[in-house]
Amino acid sequence: MTTKLFGQKVQRTEDQRFLRGQGRYVDDIAVGVGTLHAAVLRSPHAHARITDIDVGAVLDLDGVHLVWTHDDLTGPMADPLPLLIPHPALTHGRTQFALAKDEVNHVGEAIAFVVADDRYLAEDAVGRIRVTYDLLPAVVGIDAARAADRLVHDDVPGNVGARLEQENGDARAAIAASPHTLSLDLTVERSASMPLEGRGTVARWDPDVGRMTVWTSTQTSTGVRAAVAARLELDLGQVDVVTPDVGGGFGVKINHPWPEELLVPLAARQLGRTVKFTEDRREHFISSAHERGQVHHVEVGYDDDGRVLGLDVEFWHDHGAYTPYGLIVPIITSTQLLGPYKPGAYRVVFESLYTNTVMVTPYRGAGRPQGCYVMERTMDAIAAALGKDRAEVRAANFIQPDEFPFDQGLVFQDGRELEYDSGDYPASLAKLKELVGWDDFPAFREEMARQGRRVGIGLACYVEGTGVGPYEGAHVHVETSGKVKVATGLTTQGQGHATVFAQLVADVLGCRFEDVEVVTGDTRRMPYAVGTFASRAAVMSGSAIHLAATRAREKALRIAAEALEASVDDLEIVDGVVSVRGTEASIDLGTVAVLSNPLRYAFDEASKAATQFSVGDPGKPPVAEDDEPGLEGRDFYSPERSTFASGMHAVIVETDPETAEISILKYAVVHDCGRLINPMIVEGQIHGGVAQGIAGALYERMAYDDSGQLLNASFMDFLMPYVTEIPARIDIDHLETPSPLNPLGIKGAGEAGVIPSAAVFASAVSDAEQPYHPGLAITAMPISPSELFDLRRRHPATPVAQRSRDHEERP
């Protein structure tokens, strides 16, 4: 392939629209055309039986068109929402109803649905609905779920939705036989994706043609389409789902269908009007999805070099009130926990537990931040116990570059073997140590101590399964104007797909980059697709687009060769012109597109120009049996298994001796996502991921009280970082180990930045504190200044540490 644009920092084409205020997000659709607006009555209680709903005060209100409770739903709409990804271990899967039937299981669960002339009136109406509840005790947090003296669902014993165990070797025997052993308990709290644009859905029913069009802010248009068709009892061919610009997803928009994604189309069909639902911020907190909440127990056995001989991890995953997305998050934690290491033997078992809180679906990183945190804290603990350098202990456990493909002997989230395709972890570590100044740090620490400043350094390594299957497809169409229209079915939520995919097409097809237009997430243009999650877009759709563009190129060359009376081997395509190398003979791609369609109407200049070429054997049909009219290419990419990107982060922090405030002095990233299509966009993904990781490590948590009320359900109380919390510089270095699994050698880059953050900060803050407070270990994330302050009080300075402090205070 040519590499003209591949690897270049090409500026994003989609930005023109966004910068001019011409983006089209869901709430921008159908503005000012008599659209009706929906609002949802949500439960104020975490756990209650509904004994009565009185909508009498609402029905006759001016401007209110429709009020529904569960009793108004019929057929499949009255059933529980689908359990999207069943798993044999999920023995007690439960999903919510589109509108609660008899019982609510978390604050925010949808109870009634109102459609009115505008959102203000719809909210007025919601406020007049009277619900009578019989309150039940709430189960909040993993401890309460495990205690199981109260149940979330009466028919789920012990609040256990699933239990899954995997083992490679005999881990417990290996630990028992090890020269050294350690136990650790490690906790991560809940956070959430929190895109700036919440969820939203618009639907329009066209009775003249019997078609439903749904615009929704989703990460999977095809999934929503199938769900709408099934629940509204329409044929799939009657439903189009269009995903316009999406204001961030980060995982939360992969779940589907949300109740509103079914209720809005149903209302649109019943009312014969366009209906819109736009989530507000509080609704997003209490009725979308969270992630991260897990408690882990580790037993590890290791030798004198720090090599892990046996690793046994048991953890408990808080999946909230329902399990629509199955066990993806804990399965990823349990498998990706191993990172770049190869323990002698590994056993992992988790229980996925019900609580009366918002349900859990994947959030950027999807279970990997927890797994990385557990493994890296274990590596730090081994290093501390042996008195060894933390980087050295990690290096002793790395899979070596000549060991790929490397089979970890487990089953991954996609049901395939957990087999790493490629990587070079020692090279990454060498780059990271150089980038952060690992070997110079002791001198820096001493210098800082002389100034009365406390600093610490941490590092963390991860491997990320990216580009998960099963498939994506692409369609490439060269218009008679020479413009190239590309469609792929997965969605876009800010990753610059329109640009990187156009780079791939321009390279393969030889057309001008400016002539390529990419459409994503529109089932009318590409009805077969999976979705945008798990850093899969570039790998999956990128590969499919490469293959489809290759097909279009082959066809273009075949037709052009005939028109130019030349051999295909002598042709080249540059800037949209096919020419015979070394001659003046050439033909525009647009003209080739005209020739590809033997339609005998000269409807434009391009078709007139095409008449000078004579193509085809007059003795044969105009379209051969094995051909199709049109200059198009369509193909699908379906990999055997996931690609495995990897990386390592290091951070230098300073902790204030008095206030325990934690500040970042240096942040370094080494990243390997295979070949980079557009380094500018990859770095942007890393910047964003690191910021989200810092958020998760130091700030963001879901503060539930014991009754299941989310106390910080606003941007005033849930601490998302502003620029003031993010370091001015993030140093990034790339390593490129191409994946052998796809034609481009790429791996995904979307989530990497966020994965090691909890681990790297736990390591660095512990490192800063331990000289002063021996025994102080960070075992629960996020870590706030007040929590660090409390840890200091529980680990008072020993005489040794006091001496060190005295030393620090000497001039």
The residues binding other proteins (CB under 8 A) are: 11-12, 14-25, 27-28, 31-32, 61-63, 118-121, 124, 194-197, 245-248, 250, 280-281, 493-496, 680-681, 683-684, 686-692, 714-716, 720, 722-724, 726, 728-730, 753
Phi-psi region at 260: left, alpha or beta (left = phi > 0; alpha = psi -120 to 50): alpha
465: Cβ contacts below 8 Å, ≥ 6 apart: 332, 335, 336, 412, 413, 418, 534, 642, 643, 644
What is d(CA 584, CA 574) in angstroms, rounded to the nearest whole number?
13
CB of residue 196 to other proteins, shortest distance in Å: 4
| Tokens 């999903």 belong to residue | 95
Q: Amino acid identity of 141? A: G
Angle at 261 (CA atoms; ends 258, 263), nearest 5 degrees: 105
Q: Which two tokens stand for residue 266?
A: 């149903």
Query: Whose Cβ is closer to other proteins: residue 493's or residue 535's?
Result: 493
Q: Which of 27, 57, 41, 36 is nearest to 119 (CA)?
A: 36
Closer of 357 and 678 to other proteins (Cβ): 678
118 or 572: whose CB is closer to other proteins?
A: 118
CB 105: neighbour CB atoms within 10 A?
A: 28
CB atoms within 10 A of CB 394: 26
Shortest Å, Cβ 640 to other proteins: 31
CB of residue 218 to other proteins, shortest distance in Å? 14
Q: Nearest CA to 36 among 108, 128, 109, 120?
A: 120
Least gap, CB of 486 to other proteins (angstroms): 20
Residue 21 beta carbon to other proteins: minimum distance, rounded to whole angstroms: 2
For residue 634, which of 695, 559, 547, 519 has the smallest C-alpha distance?
A: 547
Q: Taking the complex as a whole, how short is the minimal distance between the CB of residue 55 and other proteins, in angstroms?
A: 15
Q: Cβ of 664: how many Cβ atoms within 10 Å?
A: 20
Nearer to other proteins, 18 or 444 (CB): 18
Q: Is 415 exposed, middle or buried (0-12, 13-18, 19+ CB in 10 A)?
A: exposed
* Least spacing, CB of residue 663 vs other proteins, in Å: 14
CA distances to 305, 395, 435, 503 from 392, in Å: 9, 5, 16, 41
Least distance from other proteins to the Cβ atom of residue 429, Å: 24
Nearer to other proteins, 493 or 737 (CB): 493
Amino acid at 167: E
Closest Cα partner for 667 from 735, 733, 748, 747?
733
Minimum CB separation of residue 288 from other proteins in Å reads 14
Between CA 347 and CA 300 the distance in angstroms is: 10
CA neighbor of 329 nearest in space, from 288, 370, 297: 370
For other proteins, give the closer residue by CB, 521 or 639: 521
Closer Cβ to other proteins, 144 or 691, answer by number: 691
Residue 237 CA to residue 239 CA, distance in Å, equals: 6
Q: Least separation, in Å, of the C-beta of 198 and other proteins?
A: 8
Whole-angstrom Cα distance, residue 185 to residue 208? 62
Query: Cβ of 51: how many Cβ atoms within 10 Å?
Result: 10
Please give the sequence-ordered ranges of beta strands (E in DSSP) within 83-156, or none if there are none: 103-104, 110-116, 130-135
| Cβ at position 610, least distance to other proteins in Å | 34
Instruction: Give yes or no for a contact between 379 and 766, defined as CB atoms under 8 angstroms apart.
Output: no
Q: With respect to other proteins, which residue has the nearer C-beta, 169 or 248?
A: 248
Nearer to other proteins, 190 or 276 (CB): 276
State the nearest-atom distance from the C-beta of 28 to other proteins, in Å: 4
250 versus 406: smaller Cβ distance to other proteins: 250
Complex with other proteins: residue 127 or 442, whichever CB lies closer: 127
Give residue for tokens 């009320």: 709
User: Cα separation of 297 and 780, whole Å?
Assistant: 12
Chain center to CA of 241:
21
Return the number of the residue (277 or 398) whose C-beta is nearest other proteins.
277
Of 14 and 570, nearer to other proteins (C-beta) is 14
Smallest distance from the beta carbon of 142 to other proteins, in angstroms?
27
Q: Tell me the three state secondary structure of residue 299.
A: strand
By C-alpha distance, which of 553, 520, 512 is closest to 538? 520
